[in-house]
Chain A
Amino acid sequence: MNKHKNISIGRKINYVILIIWALIQMFPIYWMFTFSLKDNSEIFGENMFGLPRQWLWENYAAALKVGNIAKYFLNSVIVTGFTIAITVIFSLMATYALTRMIWRGRALVNNYIMLGLTIPIHAAILPVFLILSKLKMTNSYQALIIPYAAFALAMSILIASSFIEGIPKELEEAACIDGCNVYQIFYKIIMPMMKPCLSTLAIFVFLQAWNELMFAVTFISNSDYRTLPVGIQTLCGSYTTDWGPIGAALVIATFPTLLVYCFMSRKIQESMAAGAVKG
């Protein structure tokens, strides 16, 4: 009895902590939303955190009209979508070879992949730009998709490795006895088992690609291929900036990501919930 009481007090404390943390985490969304409805004098003046005195919905009109946000949004979706697809496929394949398969030099290649986590992105701008320029690939979607995928690979492989270790080898051995070859094992056993990992990977790759700015500014000059972060930046004037429409554009850029994320996280939960008992 006493023990049970302890647990429930512990639960309550946990719950209070969760709610306080939740309020803190909610604040940026609230703030971003109110910020998108204010003008400079409120944003930088005494009313930084309160509700807008006047709700300036025209900031949204300005962002959509001047900023051409809709087109940039589509470009971002294309670039990010392909980046995710390529990264996830390539990294799952590589991970399988790097964790399950047996060959000499495996540890070395594993370490080699880690190099990808070390490079500061700004140092890579010029070298990557020179490479893309030599390949005649600037000013295109692939000018961003390829570098984004390449730079996300190390992270994805590392995450995928940590997940693949949790998959029991018995399944593959059984499939092997049933006469599956290595490709069939990968496709029929590993891919389905890695589903929860897949959505996690997708979210983390998404994060890297969606908000990336400096590659997008440097590698893309033609506004037909411009992505959202660069587009939003063009709402800044060279000497003075009207921050309200920027706030509006940022809301437009962020809320879909929240939705996509919620969708994805449900996917993660679903695929993980299989067989799990609700606590």
Chain B
Amino acid sequence: MNKVWKDKKAICIFLAPALLLFTVIVVFPIFMSAYYSFFDWNGMTDATFVGFKNYMELFTSKSAGFPKTLGNAFLLAALSVFIQLPVSLFLAIVLAKGVKGEKFFVALFFTPVLISTVVIGQLWMKIYNPEYGVVNTILRNLGLDNLTRVWLGEKSTALIAVFIPILWQYVGYHMLLLYAGIKSISKELTESAKIDGANGWQAARYITIPLLKPVIQVCAIFAVTGSLKAFDMIYVLTNGGPAHASEVPSTLMVSMIFGRNRYGFGSSIAIFIIFICFFFAILIKKAFSIGGKQYE
């Protein structure tokens, strides 16, 4: 068998198309961005080499406020790993156990991901609308007028108000991955555990979740890298405002590159995002591979 799996020619044939496409269209642009990040360049006229000045500015410029955006992105990543993923896992396990209308629920729970962020964004703008929005209307009807807010417009609430829709929208995304993962685990294992006297949750805890580790790992990587790159919903809801309160690295990067024509500086933000995402992706992989070897 090993001889078959060591066939060099086959390895090349299997890998070549993906690697080639990937290198030309994805990795090459990363190198171009890295190159641009050492220049003061507006994207159109001549560039001036400035060395590490852009990177220094990331951490020294008060008006750009990059460290704060990084903090916001980390918060989103933490929320998605510790709130979004457990919720998704719970739903996936409940559904995969087999409830009435299982298919219907799976399909329905996934729909927010299918609907474009523009629509979801518009919907949440209405939910948060200070005059007619759902949130404030409910608060007023409960007699809690003093709790009503301009949710997207106040510095203290804007960030969390933007994060809630993001976390909510992608619950279905992770749920589907986990659900498919559970479904591909052989039924006999959970059944035999049940015969041995384990209840449903014990079976989930001791059989399903450990076997699901490869999928959970993938979800964790997607959740973290996705959070660190989050852009669309924030752009629609607040565009980083008010006064940078809900700014994340991606919104700052886009406003630098395309708003202010600071292509070089924007590229340095991009490189930083790439670096951080890569770092966390590897970290998660490492964390899961410790003690996880027996499942391979």
Contact = CB atoms under 8 A, between A and B. Distances in A.
In the complex, are there CB atoms of A and B closer than 8 Å? yes
Interface of A: 3, 7, 10-11, 14-15, 17-18, 21-22, 25-29, 31-32, 35, 45-46, 48-49, 86, 89-91, 93-94, 96-98, 100-103, 109, 111-124, 126-128, 130-131, 146-147, 149-151, 153-155, 157-159, 161-163, 165-166, 169, 172-173, 176, 181-183, 185-186, 196-197, 200, 203-204, 207, 211, 229, 250, 253-254, 257-258, 261-262, 265-266, 268-269, 272, 275-279
A118 B225 contact: yes
Contacts of B98: 278-279
Nearest to A113: B22
Nearest to B43: A126
Interface in B156-209: 172-173, 176-177, 180-181, 183-185, 187, 191, 199-200
A150 B118 CA distance: 24
B130 interface: no
B205 to A, nearest CB: 14
Interface stretch (B50-58, B61-69, B106-114, B239-247): B106-114
Interface stretch (B28-36, B75-83, B146-154): B28-36
Nearest to B217: A162
B4 interface: yes
B219 to A, nearest CB: 9
B281 A131 contact: no
B229 to A, nearest CB: 5
Nearest to B225: A117
Interface of B: 1-2, 4-8, 10-11, 13-15, 17-19, 21-22, 24-30, 32-33, 43, 91, 94-95, 97-100, 103, 105-120, 122-123, 126, 129, 131-134, 172-173, 176-177, 180-181, 183-185, 187, 191, 199-200, 211, 214-215, 217-218, 221-222, 225, 229, 231, 249-250, 253-254, 257-258, 263, 266-267, 269-270, 273-275, 277-278, 281-282, 285, 295-296
Contacts of A131: 24-25, 28-29
B21 A22 contact: no
Contacts of B132: 45-46, 48
A251 B131 CA distance: 26
A21 B14 CA distance: 42
A276 B187 contact: yes
A211 B116 contact: yes
A147 to B, nearest CB: 5
B218 A162 contact: yes
A10 B202 CA distance: 13
Please give me the 7 A-B residue pairs with the lowest Cβ-Cβ distance, nearest first: A279-B98, A123-B270, A127-B29, A118-B277, A150-B25, A94-B18, A97-B14
Contacts of A94: 14-15, 17-19
A156 B191 CA distance: 31
11 contacts: A28-B119, A93-B17, A115-B274, A116-B22, A116-B26, A120-B274, A124-B29, A150-B21, A183-B10, A254-B114, A258-B111
Nearest to A169: B1
**A interface majority secondary structure:** helix
A121 to B, nearest CB: 8
A272 B180 contact: yes
A250 B116 contact: yes
Contacts of A93: 13-15, 17-18
Nearest to A123: B270
A10 to B, nearest CB: 7
A153 B26 CA distance: 10
A18 B126 contact: no
A215 to B, nearest CB: 11
Given A102-B5, A118-B281, A155 B22 contact: no
B276 to A, nearest CB: 8
Contact of A268 (B6, B173, B180): B180
A159 B115 contact: no
